Structures are given as structure tokens and as C-alpha cells.
């Protein structure tokens, strides 16, 4: 059994290109849609279980692009708009199509935020506050929320399969010591690389350089950089980044639609 992990979106909150930006990275994406990045989210598919991690504002286009027409449950890493504001897209899926409430695992802190943000959707989702370090098993796969360092209550998820395992930390500034120990030697670390050059938010995000360093520190077999802003502090194009990292076989740059096969 091969479990597929798909990167639905690989951009930080503003997306690439940003409507207000004319940096080299945004120009590259305007010229060639191959370099476009939608906001960060992922999809885990074991065949029997189809799990969404985060619901970014671009979720509708992402699901259509990847030909995904069924979702069993949603896990949120944290309550920031670039990760939750697509939840409204599931209203019609539930009301008109499945008729079954959708389990939504979220931070306990975010339950009141959910109710005030989506007052009409309380019957669409079954809200389940995730618990740190709890193993959520569905058939042969499991998700384990582990603490991350971000501005609000945030986790990343370890995805365990009968084959390879993966750690997904889209928004974090380094990792707490215990989380690092728990992901040591992981097959894939997919992590926050929001900034290129100077890190403007060192307490909530990482730079490309810091993300690569973290991958080395936890001895990840492969580090995949995601949540890329491309233009916050020092603009960079994806082509420049690729050129810069081409000799580092353990590091790769995420892109929208990237599929990771967690093979046995
Ligand atoms: Zn984010
Ligand atoms: Zn965030």
C-alpha cells in the first residue's frame, strides 16, 4: 500500500504572485504559471482515508486542480487565516452532497474563534480539539500532532504509514526540543522556509537557511521547503533558489502539486 502526500499549496500568507507585488519572484510567477504558489495546505490519501491538512483560502482551486472529490476529515495546524479561511468551501459539500458532518480537528484555543468566524457552519463540522502527542489512527495511517513554535497555538503533524514517515511543519520557528527528538531520522521533513535572507519574524517563522539547518539537525533524509514567501525580506525567484540548492541532494523546494509517495 502506498500512501500519497500531496502539497496542495506551498506559499506563505500572501501567495505568489501577490496582487500588490512586483518583485522578481512575483514577476517570474506572473510570466509563467508553473511558478505560481497558492497558500499552504496538504492532502493525505491512503486509498481508504482522505485527509486534508489545513484549509487555505485557495482550497477550492487546489481540490479541483488535483481532482480530489472526497474528504473524510480535516486537521488544522493552527488558527491563522492562510490555514483556515477556506473552511467555508465545505458548506455545500456537506449540505448538498455528503449529508454527513465533517470531522474538523483543531486547536482547543480555536474553538471560540471558529464559532465567531463561521456562526452558520456549526452543523457542517464536528469540532474535535486535537491533543498534543495523541496518535490519531485511521486504518493503516496515523497523524500525531506535535507542538511547533508559532505566534498562536500550533502543531505540525507526524504522518505514520506502514512505509515511510513524514513530518509536516508549515508554520514554525525552529522546533521545541521534544518535537525534534520525536522526528529524529524521519524520512521527510516538510517545513517552514518563509524567508529568504533576513528573517523578519524569528519567533514564528524560519528562513530557507534555518529550515535546511533544522533538517540537518534532526537528520531528516529529505528536507522539503514550503510556506515560501519568495518576496518578504529579500526577493528571490524559484529558479534562483533551485540553482542555489542544486548540489544539495537532501533538500528540495516544494511546489504546488508535489506528490510524495510514502512507499513501504
Ligand atoms: Zn501560514
Ligand atoms: Zn501561521
195 CA to centre of ligand 1 in angstroms = 12
User: Would you state the pLDDT for residue 150?
Assistant: 97
80 CA to centre of ligand 2 in angstroms = 5
The residues pairing with 45 across neighbouring beta strands, listed in sequence order, are 4, 50
Distance from C-alpha of 96 to C-alpha of 92, rounded to nearest angstrom: 5
Which residues are found with C-beta within 5 Å of the ion, ligand 2?
Answer: 80, 171
Residues of the chain with pLDDT below 50 are none
Domain spans of the chain? 3-262
User: Would you state the pLDDT for residue 264?
Assistant: 85
User: Would you state the pLDDT for residue 263?
Assistant: 87
What fold does the segment set 3-262 form as a domain?
Answer: Metallo-beta-lactamase; Chain A (3.60.15)
192 CA to centre of ligand 1 in angstroms = 9
**Dihedral sign of CA atoms 102, 68, 120, 81 in order:** positive
User: Would you state the pLDDT for residue 2?
Assistant: 86
Please tell me the pTM assigned to this model.
0.97
Q: Where are the alpha helices (DSSP H) in the chain?
A: 24-31, 59-65, 81-84, 90-92, 111-117, 177-182, 208-217, 238-245
User: Would you state the pLDDT for residue 223?
Assistant: 98
Q: Where are the beta strands (DSSP E) in 57-210?
A: 73-75, 102-106, 125-129, 136-138, 141-147, 155-160, 166-169, 188-192
204 CA to centre of ligand 1 in angstroms = 9
207 CA to centre of ligand 2 in angstroms = 14
Q: Are 83 and 171 in contact (CB under 8 A)?
A: yes
Which strand ranges, in their side-by-side order, compose the sheet holding 50-53?
125-129, 102-106, 73-75, 50-53, 41-45, 3-9, 259-262
Which is nearest to 6 in space by CA: 43, 57, 55? 43
User: Would you state the pLDDT for residue 153?
Assistant: 96
Amino acid at each position: 500500500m502506498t500512501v500519497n502526500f500531496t502539497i496542495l499549496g506551498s506559499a506563505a500568507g500572501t501567495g505568489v504572485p501577490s496582487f500588490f507585488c512586483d518583485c522578481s519572484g512575483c514577476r517570474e510567477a506572473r510570466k509563467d504559471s508553473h511558478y505560481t504558489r497558492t497558500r499552504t495546505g496538504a492532502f493525505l490519501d491512503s486509498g481508504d482515508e482522505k485527509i486534508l491538512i489545513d484549509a487555505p483560502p485557495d482550497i477550492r482551486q487546489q481540490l479541483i486542480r488535483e481532482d480530489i472529490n472526497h474528504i473524510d476529515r480535516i486537521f488544522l495546524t493552527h488558527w491563522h487565516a492562510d490555514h483556515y479561511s477556506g473552511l467555508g468551501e465545505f458548506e455545500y459539500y456537506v449540505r448538498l452532497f455528503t449529508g454527513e458532518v465533517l470531522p474538523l480537528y483543531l486547536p482547543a484555543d480555536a474553538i471560540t474563534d471558529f464559532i465567531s468566524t463561521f456562526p452558520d457552519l456549526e452543523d457542517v463540522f464536528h469540532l474535535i480539539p486535537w491533543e498534543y502527542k495523541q496518535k490519531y489512527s485511521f486504518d493503516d495511517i496515523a497523524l500525531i500532532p506535535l507542538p511547533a513554535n508559532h505566534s498562536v497555538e500550533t502543531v505540525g503533524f507526524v504522518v505514520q504509514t506502514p512505509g515511510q514517515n513524514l513530518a509536516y511543519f508549515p508554520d514554525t520557528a525552529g522546533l521545541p526540543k521534544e518535537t525534534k527528538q520525536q522526528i529524529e531520522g524521519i524520512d521527510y521533513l516538510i517545513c517552514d522556509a518563509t524567508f529568504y535572507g533576513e528573517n523578519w519574524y524569528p519567533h514564528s517563522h524560519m528562513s530557507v537557511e534555518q529550515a535546511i539547518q533544522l533538517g540537518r539537525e534532526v537528520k531528516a533524509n529529505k528536507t522539503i521547503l514550503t510556506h515560501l514567501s519568495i518576496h518578504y525580506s529579500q526577493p528571490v525567484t524559484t529558479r534562483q533558489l533551485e540553482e542555489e540548492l542544486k548540489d544539495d541532494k537532501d533538500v528540495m523546494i516544494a511546489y504546488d502539486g508535489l506528490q510524495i509517495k510514502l512507499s513501504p
